[in-house]
Structure 1
Amino acid sequence: MAVGQVGGLLPHVAVPSTMPAFLIPEWGLSYGEAGLMASAYAIGYMLAAPVLTTLTDRIDARRILIFGSLLNALGTVGFGLLAEGMVSAMLLWGLTGLGFAGAYMPGLKALTDRLAPGDSSRSVTVYTGAFSFGVGLSFLACQLIADAFGWRWAFILTGLPPLIMTFVAWSLTPVTPAPRAGPLLDLAPALRNRTALGYSFAYGCHCFELYGVRTWLVAFWGFVAASGGAPLGAVVVSALFTALAMPASILGNELALKLGRHRAITLVMLLSAAVALAIGFTAGLSPWLTLMLMLVYAFTVPGDSGALTSGMAAAADPRFRGASMAVHSTVGFAFTAAGGWVIGVALDMAGGVSQPGAWALAYSVMAMGAALGPVFLWWSRRSGASS
């Protein structure tokens, strides 16, 4: 499942990877428009996730997983062949995000349905950790292919690996969920579960920060490299930053098992906010300093991911786990959509990607997102939920 997910993630950052050098200048986009275009993926995901993920409480999740993986491939290849401007790009990228909505959380449901309860925490963390590893490969592949063959081929070629997950899903032993009555989109049981909901809103804050930095990572390192003396190029930095998220997520979950989830997540998110502020206010001073801070940030940003998702899965009522996952992913990708766009608007407001003050503002916004996560965890505990 982790290998299949990596294949499904190869197109994941194709738009952010190709925006600075190709899409923004070719289509004459502002940074806010570019951020909105990149966020179309998350918008498509957000709109489809409640239906597709909740449906896994009624039919075998592997069937949804096959459908989503096929649509993920179709949307990405379609972008490479047909996108001609912001509107068509948003429609096709939104379709790709819709497909991924049928792959990520339904894939998690397909996995947890086939695990004994005691196996779930570490297995879920490996699965969520593979997410970041796949995104790191996406940064690497998309930039290298675009530089060598043009941005359209970056979409066409990375649109094929999602088909790997269709074969993985097809090979899974069928599992039939217990019969369920009532409406499909009955999210009320999940919304009443304040323990799971607290993790989901904190996860949204994590996603806001994560996709804020991922959407603009290539552009940011272009600014750093323009000052001279950058030890690494944007291709290596973006791939390394994202690939480190896999061990970071696993280590973060182990920390949560030792300290307790609430305490560990709060510590990681506040540390991440502090590092984001340090990056923003020292950007342009020294490429080596920025690189060191970015490597620290590569651990703090995803360090809470596995603990947040495994915490939600553990807190969810088994009868409504699909509904809880639907809420979790919908909240996460709603914040994701906001992250890429809001950072783009901040860059426009402060003079664009060539200005140090613009990046100070951008990373301050990311820090604010991370710092809100512990507030939601405090709310869920104060409401009587346990950690």
Structure 2
Amino acid sequence: MMMGKGKWTALMWIAIAELFALSLWFSASVTGAELRELWNLTVLTEAWLSASVPAGFIIGTLISVSFGIADRFNARRVFALSALAGALINGLLIVADSAMIGIALRIMTGVTLAGVYPTAVKLLSQWFPSKRGLALGILIAALTLGSSLPHFISLLFSSVDWKLVIVVSSLLALAAAGIMNWVVKDAPTSPQKTIFSFKLIKQVLLNKPVMLANYGYFGHMWELYAMWTWLPVFFAASFASSSSQISPEIISLASFVSIGIAGAIGCVLGGMAADSLGRSRLTILSLLVSGSCSIIIGFTFGQAFWLTLLVAVIWGMFVISDSAQFSAAVTEFAETPYLGTALTFQMCIGFLVTIFSINLIPVVQNLIGWEWVFILLSIGPALGIVSMVKFSLYETGERSEK
């Protein structure tokens, strides 16, 4: 009974720490207008400012797993130190005076976040050795809310200096470090260690159901972070072209609701639905709806505020609702000796894909406009659906065997 109560308490604090720490991810993106002028950003450097965190995250993940940091050291301490380092590095943005320095700092921030998100998943697996679908959904919800939190911070401090957004997000990351270090307790049991090895990647590539789940995840990631990055800019451009008088505060609120609130709800509902519908069905449904929204939202450009927001909220719910299930699918079909390699491979390639889609959006937008550019993101869900339909055959076979 105490274990049951303790794990939900641990989940609550881990989720809060995750929410606070992930506010670092888009802390610079929401101040893009100010940084564009301060650092003389071009279309290319602005895109790289947004893509630099995923790039750093990939680097940090590979370093972490190659040296087995999460296995060799206490996971809570790794999270706390990573959040502390991220807070300090993010804070240096207020004194950065060029795009190159800013991008370098954002890459380093991404490196520190590699010690936050994967480590939180590991901590969760320690507290929930089984039936962790809902718990994982709650954790991803916290990640989603945290990623969108700078939009809310910007809403609160939009009439003040942009540096306050950076400072507040850094203070939240410091709070996350404190929560993880002094409030969260170690789980009574630890899971079996999983390792990463380049020598084992061949085994991952030869495992067909694992690779089908990976392809689904890559399609999902092609859409997710590009949507999170550029939807607020789309809002600003759309509302500016309409007859509606929409303030920057409303744009920040719309972004927070569409990405954060709607996304968090989608994560929890997706985690609950996956256990009853099956992982493949849930991912196919999510990819279908989110991909459709990426096509439809362009037709709302310059139209009524409520119509654009409605499509964005639906998109925000479904674009993230399946995120946790791709990793869960890998854990079900990868053999234990290369499970860690399989999960790391999925995460690294997935975030590598986001760098391409994030950078591609502004380039294509200059050519075809905001009305059509998000159609580019529907390619990912379309390919993901094909993969998960094929994956469902393996999932059905596994259930029949049981």
Q: Does 1:172 align with 2:185?
A: yes
Q: 1:177 to 1:302 in 2, by over 3 A?
A: closer
Q: Does 1:105 align with 2:118?
A: yes
Q: How far did residue 77 of structure 1 move?
A: 0.8
Q: Which among 97, 113, 135 is matched to residue 84 of structure 1?
A: 97
Residue in structure 2 matched with residue 141 of structure 1 by the alignment? 153
Q: Does 1:49 align with 2:61?
A: yes
> What per-residue deviation string (whole Å, max 9, x for no partner) do you get for residues 328-362 of structure 1?
32122112222221112112333xxxxxxx11332
Count of residues in correspondence between the two structures: 376
Separation in 2 of the partners of 1:84 and 1:185? Answer: 43
SS at 2:23 equivalent: coil
Residue in structure 1 matched with residue 309 of structure 2 by the alignment? 291
Q: Which among 225, 236, 243 is matched to residue 228 of structure 1?
A: 243
> What per-residue deviation string (whole Å, max 9, x for no partner) do you get for residues 137-165 of structure 1?
222113533x2332223212211212233
- Aligned positions of 1:2-41 closer than 5 A: 2-19=15-32, 21-41=33-53
Residue in structure 2 matched with residue 259 of structure 1 by the alignment? 277
Percent identical pairs in the alignment equals 22
**Equivalent residues of 1:2, 1:126 under 8 A apart:** yes
Residue in structure 2 matched with residue 354 of structure 1 by the alignment? none
Separation in 2 of the partners of 1:80 and 1:200? Answer: 38
**Equivalent residues of 1:11, 1:158 under 8 A apart:** yes
Residue in structure 2 matched with residue 353 of structure 1 by the alignment? none
**Equivalent residues of 2:194, 2:339 under 8 A apart:** no
Please, which runs of 5 or more residues in structure 2 have no aligned partner? Answer: 1-13
Please, which runs of 5 or more residues in structure 1 have no aligned partner? Answer: 351-357
State the TM-score, normalizing by the size of structure 2: 0.84
Q: 1:57 to 1:187 in 2, by over 3 A?
A: farther
**Equivalent residues of 2:196, 2:341 under 8 A apart:** no
Which amino acid counterpart does residue 159 of structure 2 have in structure 1? A
Q: 1:316 to 1:80 in 2, by over 3 A?
A: farther
Which amino acid counterpart does residue 134 of structure 1 have in structure 2? G
Moved more, 103-112 or 325-334: 325-334
**Equivalent residues of 1:190, 1:197 under 8 A apart:** yes
Residue in structure 2 matched with residue 61 of structure 1 by the alignment? 75
Q: Does 1:121 align with 2:139?
A: no
- Aligned positions of 1:133-282 closer than 5 A: 133-145=145-157, 147-170=158-181, 171-173=184-186, 187-226=201-240, 227-229=242-244, 233-242=250-259, 243-282=261-300
Which amino acid counterpart does residue 203 of structure 1 have in structure 2? Y
The alignment yields a C-alpha RMSD, in angstroms, of 2.8
Separation in 2 of the partners of 1:304 and 1:179? Answer: 26
Which amino acid counterpart does residue 198 of structure 1 have in structure 2? L
Q: Does 1:374 align with 2:392?
A: no
Residue in structure 1 matched with residue 365 of structure 2 by the alignment? 347
Residue in structure 1 matched with residue 84 of structure 2 by the alignment? 70
Separation in 2 of the partners of 1:202 and 1:160? Answer: 36
> What per-residue deviation string (whole Å, max 9, x for no partner) do you get for residues 48-93 of structure 1?
2123146234544334323321222122111223x22221111000
Which amino acid counterpart does residue 327 of structure 1 have in structure 2? F
